[in-house]
Amino acid sequence: MSDAQRGLFEAMGDGLRLRTRSGRRRAASWLRRLAPAAVLLRSTVGLSYFIAAEVAVPPQWSSSAAYLIVAAALSLTAALAPAGIAPLAASATVIAAWLITSSVYEDHGGLWIPAAAAVLLYAGHSAAAVAQRFRTTTTVDSEIVHTWARHLGIVAASTVAFAGLLALFTAYFAAISPAVAVGVGLVAAVTVIYVLARSLHKRSPR
C-alpha cells in the first residue's frame, strides 16, 4: 500500500503522534535550558502587580472572585509579556482601583497604602523593564539582578521618605486655600514633567 492509499485517519494519527513526540522533546529541552534569573525576574513582575492590586483595594474587593481573576490575569499577562502593553494595563488598573475604592470607602485611605502600592508598582515596572528582552532560557549575569535590586531599594527608600514627609505635613495642607494648592501643585507637576523630559533629551554628564 502506498502513501496515496493510506487512510485519512491513519495519516492523521501518524501526524498527531509525530507532533506529540516533537512537542514532548521541545518541552524537555525548554525545561533543561530554563534560566533561574530570568524566571525570577518574570515572577517578580507578576507577583508585584498581583500584590499591588490586592493591597490597593479594601478586603471586600480583594477577596471577591471577579477582582481576583482580573488581578491574576493582568499580573500573569505582564509576567509572560513584560515588553508589551500588559505592565501598563496592570499599573493603570491598580491605580484606577485605588482611585475608585478610596473615593467610595472613606475608611480605606491614608498614605501608607498608596506608598506600598507605589513601591510594588515600581517593582513590577522596573523588573519588566529589565526582563523585557530576556527569554525564559536567557542566562542572566547575576550583576544585572544585583544592580536592579539596589536601584529598587533606593527608590523604595525615597518613596517611604516622601510618604513620611507627606504624612508629617498633612495638617498643613488642609490649611492652604484650594487655589494656592492647585497653583503650587501645577507648578510642581510641570517641573517634574520638565525634569523628566529634560533627562530624556539631555546629553550624559559624563
Partner 1 sequence: MSLAADPVLSLRTDNARTRAERPRERPVEWRRTAALTRAVAIAACCLIVSVAFGRVDLALIAAPFVVGTVLLLRERPERTPEARLDVGEAVCAEGDTASAVLHVANPEPVRVTTVVTAAADHWIDLHTGRGDFAERLYPNSARELLVAGRAKRWGGHHLGPVHVQSYACGGLLETTVQRLPGQKVWVLPVPGWFDSAESLPFADGVAGVHRSRRIGDSGELAEVRLYQPGDRLRRIDWRTSARSQELYVNATLSERDTDVTLILDLQIEAGESGGVDGPASVADLTVRAAGAVAAHYALQGDRVGCIEFGARARRLRAGTGRRHNLALLRWLASVEIPADSLPPSVEMLRRRLDSHRSMHVVFTPLLTERSIGLVAALARAGRPVLCVDTLPGHVAPPARSHWTPYAERLWRLARTNTVMELRDLGVAVEPWTGSASLDDVIAQLVRRRYR
Per CB under 8 A, the list member of 51, 57, 79, 118 interacting with partner 1 is 118
The one-letter code for the residue type at 98 is W
58 binding partner 1? (CB under 8 A): no
Q: What mask, x for binding partner 1 by CB under 8 A, covers residues 174 to 203?
A: ----x--xx--xx-xx--xx-xx--xx-xx
Q: Tell me how long the chain is.
A: 206
Per CB under 8 A, the list member of 109, 149, 153, 171 interacting with partner 1 is 109
114 binding partner 1? (CB under 8 A): yes
Q: Is 24 exposed, middle or buried (0-12, 13-18, 19+ CB in 10 A)?
A: exposed
74 binding partner 1? (CB under 8 A): no
Q: Tell me how far, at minimum, the Cβ of 20 lies from partner 1, in Å.
A: 18
Q: Tell me how far, at minimum, the Cβ of 170 lies from partner 1, in Å.
A: 8
| Sequence-ordered list of residues with C-beta below 8 angstroms from that of 136, at least 6 positions apart, any chain | 30, 34, 35, 38, 39, 42
Q: What mask, x for binding partner 1 by CB under 8 A, covers residues 85 to 104?
A: x-xx--xx--x--xx--x--
159 binding partner 1? (CB under 8 A): yes
39 binding partner 1? (CB under 8 A): no
Between CA 22 and CA 47 the distance in angstroms is: 32
**Cell 490597593 found at:** 56
The one-letter code for the residue type at 8 is L
The one-letter code for the residue type at 154 is I
22 binding partner 1? (CB under 8 A): no
Residues in binding contact with partner 1, number by CB under 8 A: 75
| Sequence-ordered list of residues with C-beta below 8 angstroms from that of 135, at least 6 positions apart, any chain | 38
